[in-house]
Chains A and B, each alone.
Chain A
Amino acid sequence: MSVPVRRRSAAIVGGVAAALLLAACGGSGSGDNTTSAAPSSTNTDPACADYASYGSYPGTKVTIFTSILPPEQQKFESSWAQFEKCTGIDVVYEGSDQFEAQLPTRIQGGNAPDIAFIPQPGLLQKLVQQGGPKAAPQTVAANVDQFWNPAWKAYGTVNDTFYAAPLGSNMKSFVWYSPKVFAEKGYEVPTTWDAMFQLSDKMAADGIKPWCGGIESGGATGWPATDWIEQLVLRQQGGDVYDQWISHEVLFASPQIQEAFTTLEGWMRNPKYANAGFGDTKTIATTAFQDAGKPILSAKCGMLQQASFYAAQWPSFKKDVTIAEDGDIFAFYLPQIKADIPTPIVGGGEFVTAFADRPEVQAFQAYLSSDTFATLKVAAGGWVSANSGVPLETYTDPISQLSAKYLTDANATFRFDASDLMPAQVGAGSFWKEMTAFFAENKSVQATTEAIDASWPS
C-alpha cells in the first residue's frame, strides 16, 4: 500500500532507546564494529557526547528513499540533524509518491538507495528473494529484541534472517468523530460493537448519516476498504484465521472471510448509513480518502473509520482545528466484536531496510533504532512508536498518546495490515480493485471474494 503510507504520519511505537548504545558495545559480529568504532576525536562539541559511539564519518553520505512526503520529511530531518552534525554523515532524504513502483526498478537498475523505509513486509520479502537487502547489523537486532514485541521483529525477518527494524507505527483501529457534535446531540462514545450500531441508527433517525468514507487514492485506490475487511476479519475470526487468510490457507470465498464482507455490506454499503456528505454508497469509490472526514466537522457525517495518521488531514479542512477528547475532532477505539478476541488491533508501520553495508549506513541504521532518535522524533509530534522504551509522556498530542497506549498494550490481539503482507498481485492489485468494484458497482460478496481468490498467484 503505497500512497497511504505517506499519511501514516502519526504513530510510532518504537523508540529503541538507550539500550542501543549498550548493545553496540557488547555485541559481537560484523555489525557492531562499525558502531563501536573509535569515538571521533575531531568533534569536541559536548552535545556530541551521546553520539560518540556511532563513530565519525566525515564527508560520507547516506541516501534514504521513502514514501513519506513533506511535511513529515522535515520532522524526520530535524530528528537526525544532531546525528549528522556529530558524525559528519550527510543524510539525503528522498520522498516519492511512486515509491513502491520506483524502489524495485532502482534496485534492479543498480541505483538502490542506501536505506529505504518499506511499509509492506510483503514487498520486503519479495526484494529479499530477488536479492538486494542487507541483513541488519547485530546492534540493530539487539535493540529490536529488547524493545519491540516479537511480532514486529518477525515482520522484518525473511527466511530466519533479520533484515529490517521497525520505524514508525500506526494504529488503524480508530473511529474519528466530533466530540463537540456528540456533546450537542447527547451521543455517547460507543464501547461495544452493538452500541456503535445502535448509535448509528439513532443518528440516522436524527437525520445525520452516521458514516462517511472514501477509498480513492490514485494508484492505490481501494486500500481503505481493505482495511475495513481486515478490521472485521480480526474481530470476528481472531488472529489465527487472520494469519491463515494472509497465507491463503483460508480463502476469501470461505464462510469466515465472507462473513466480514457481509458485515461490511450492512455497514459501509448500507444506504441508511453512508456515504454522509458525498451521496450514495457508490461515492465511497470516488471520494478521496483525504477528503472523506470533512463532513464530520460540519456535522453532516457522524463517524469515519480511519487510521491514526488521518490526524494530519484535519488541519487542511479547518486551520485551527483542535484534536482532543473535548475538541473539534477525536477518535475512539473501534470496538471488539467477540469477547474471546480481546482488543483486536490492526496496525501498520515502516521497516528500515538497508541496501548497503558501508559503516556509515550501519551507523545510521543503529541510530534509527535508538532511543535518542525515537524520543526526538516522537517529541516532534504526530508520530507513534511501538517501542516500549519511549515514555508515554513524550507524546505531546492526545491521538499519538492514545495510539501508543493501544500499540503497546501487551494483551491486545495485534496484527499487521493484511494486504501489506499478501503477494503484490493481491495486496496491491486485486484486493484493492475488487473492493473498489464492491462499492462502485455494488458487486456481490460472492463475486468479489471469488475474483480475489482467482488472482492469487499459484
Chain B
Amino acid sequence: MDYASKLSLMVSVVAVFFGVLLLIFFLAAKAKGKAQTPLARLIFLGPAALLVTIGLVIPAIQTTYFSFYNSDGNKFVGAKNYSWIFTTPDNWVFLRNTALWIVITPILSTILGLTLALLMDRMKRESLPKSLIFMPMAISFVGASIIWGLVYEYRDPAETQVGLLSAVVSAFGIEPPNWLLWQPWNNFLLMVIMIWIQTGFAMVVLSAAIKAIPTDVTEAAMLDGATGWNLFRKVTVPMIRGTLVVVLTTIAIGVLKVFDIVRTMTNGNFGTQVLANEMYAQAFVQFDKGRGSALAVVLFVAVIPLIVYNVVQLRKEQSIR
C-alpha cells in the first residue's frame, strides 16, 4: 500500500466510526417513553463494555485457568506453578526487587513531582522547566533504554570513559564501578530511569491540582495563622489528597507492569529481575504457559490492595459529595 492509500484508509476509518456513531445517536434519540433511558445506557456503555470484556476480561479468566496447568496448557497440575514461584530460592530475587520497585519508584516520583509543582507554581517562567522535565514521558522505552545506556556505559579504567556517570565519578578521582553489575545498587539505577519518566507526569498532574485549590481556602487558613510548612501540610496536602492517590496508583500500576526497562538494560540478570519480566520470559522465551500465567495472576493479585485503597478513597469522596 502506498502512502496515499494508507492515509486515506485512516481518514475513512475515522469518518466511518463517527458517522455510524452519529447515525445511532440520531436514531436512538427518537425513542420515546420508558425505553429511552435503558436504550441510552446500552448505547453509551455497550461498546466499551463489550471491548473490555473481549480484550481483558476473557483473557484474564483464561490466564487464571492456565495458571493451574502445565507448561503446554494440557495437564492440570494444581497449585504447582504457584508453589514454584514462592518456594524456589532464586525467585526471591525478583519478588524482592518487585517490592522495592513498587514502593520506591512511585513514592520518589511523586515526592519529586510534588516538590517541583510547588516550587514552580510561583515561578514566573515555569513553562520551560516544566516542559523539559515532562519530556521523558514522550519517549518510548526503547528510546529511553538507548539514552540511559549512554549514561551507564562502563569502560576499563585504563580507557577513556564514554559513559556520563562513569566520567563524572572518574572526575572526582573515584574508580567507577561497572554500574549494571553493581549489586544491589543496580536496581536503583534502573529505577532512576522509571523515575526520570514518571516525575514529569506526577508534576503536571499535581501542579494542576494545586492550581485548583481555591484562593479563599488558603487565605482563610492564613487568617487563622497557618504559614509555610503548616499550610502545606494542613491545607495543600489534604486538598490534593485525591490527586496524590491517583498519581501514586497510576505510577505503581505502571511500575508493576513495566518490563521493557529491565528487559533492555539487563534482561533481569545481575540480580535485577522483576516479576513482569520473569513473566514475559517464562511465557514467551521459555514457552512455559503455566508459570507465565501464574506469574501474571500474582501480578494481578499484587495490585488488589491498591485498587481497594482507591475504592475506599473514592467512596469517601462520594460520601462527601
Contacts and interface: CB of A to CB of B under 8 A. Distances in A.
Decide whether A and B assemble into one complex. Answer: yes
A428 B181 contact: no
Contacts of A222: 269
Given A277-B156, A424-B287, A428-B285, A286 B181 contact: yes
A457 B285 contact: no
Given A219-B285, A283-B154, A429-B281, A437 B269 contact: yes
B250 interface: no
Contact of A436 (B90, B154, B269): B269
Nearest to A427: B286
Interface string B97-108: 000000000000
A221 interface: yes
B142 to A, nearest CB: 11
Interface in B236-283: 263-264, 267-271, 281
Contacts of A429: 281, 285-286
A433 interface: yes
Interface in A372-428: 424-425, 428
B130 interface: no
Nearest to A100: B285
Interface residues of B, number: 25
A433 B264 CA distance: 15
Given A130-B72, A219-B285, A440-B269, A283 B264 contact: no
Contacts of B183: 441
Contact of A425 (B159, B178, B269, B286): B286
A218 B149 CA distance: 12
Nearest to A123: B287
B270 A219 contact: no
B270 A440 contact: yes
Interface string B121-159: 000000000000000000000000000000000111101
Contacts of A105: 284
Interface in B280-302: 281, 284-288
A101 interface: yes
A219 B268 CA distance: 9
A218 B71 contact: no
B167 interface: no
Contact of A282 (B178, B263, B267, B286): B178
**Which residue among B71, B286, B287 has the maximum number of chain A CB atoms within 10 Å of its CB?**
B287
Contacts of B264: 218
Contacts of A285: 181, 269-270
A451 interface: yes
Interface in A220-246: 221-222
A126 interface: yes
A425 B270 contact: no
A433 B269 contact: yes
B181 A440 contact: yes
B180 interface: yes
B176 to A, nearest CB: 10
A278 interface: yes
Interface string A92-129: 00000000110011000000000000000000001001
Given A433-B269, A451-B90, A286 B154 contact: yes
Interface in A126-153: 126, 129-130
Interface residues of A, number: 30
B156 A221 contact: no
A457 B71 contact: yes
Contacts of A440: 181, 269-270
Contacts of B284: 101, 104-105
Interface in B163-179: 178
A126 B69 CA distance: 17
Nearest to B156: A279
A278 B269 contact: no
Contact of A283 (B178, B269, B271): B178
A285 B183 CA distance: 14
Interface-centre pick from B181, B183, B263, B271 (highest chain A CB count, 10 A)? B181
A440 B267 CA distance: 13
Contacts of A457: 71
Contacts of A221: 267, 269
Contact of B285 (A101, A126, A280, A451): A101
A89 B63 CA distance: 40
A424 B71 CA distance: 11
A424 B287 CA distance: 7
Contacts of A451: 90
Contacts of B156: 277-279, 283
B270 to A, nearest CB: 5
B173 to A, nearest CB: 18
A278 B181 contact: no
Given A277-B156, A283-B156, A424 B267 contact: no
Interface string A245-288: 00000000000000000000000000000000111101101100
Nearest to B291: A425
A452 to B, nearest CB: 11
B102 to A, nearest CB: 23
B288 A425 contact: yes
A38 to B, nearest CB: 33
Nearest to B157: A279
A218 B259 CA distance: 13
Nearest to B263: A219
A104 B292 CA distance: 15
Contacts of A441: 183, 270-271
Interface string A431-458: 0010011001100000000010000010
A218 B145 CA distance: 11
A286 B286 contact: no
Contacts of B268: 433
Question: Which of B72, B180, B284 counts the most chain A CB atoms within 10 A?
Answer: B284
B145 to A, nearest CB: 10
Given A130-B72, A286-B181, A218 B270 contact: no
A105 B156 CA distance: 41
Nearest to B88: A454
A104 B71 CA distance: 13
Given A278-B155, A433-B269, 12 more contacts: A105-B284, A218-B264, A221-B269, A278-B156, A279-B154, A283-B154, A283-B181, A285-B269, A286-B154, A286-B181, A424-B285, A425-B286
Pick the 6 closest A-B CB pairs, nearest first. A101-B284, A279-B156, A429-B286, A436-B269, A425-B286, A221-B267
10 contacts: A101-B284, A126-B287, A277-B156, A278-B155, A279-B155, A279-B178, A285-B270, A437-B270, A440-B181, A440-B270
Interface of A: 100-101, 104-105, 126, 129-130, 218-219, 221-222, 277-280, 282-283, 285-286, 424-425, 428-429, 433, 436-437, 440-441, 451, 457
Interface of B: 71-72, 90, 154-157, 159, 178, 180-181, 183, 263-264, 267-271, 281, 284-288
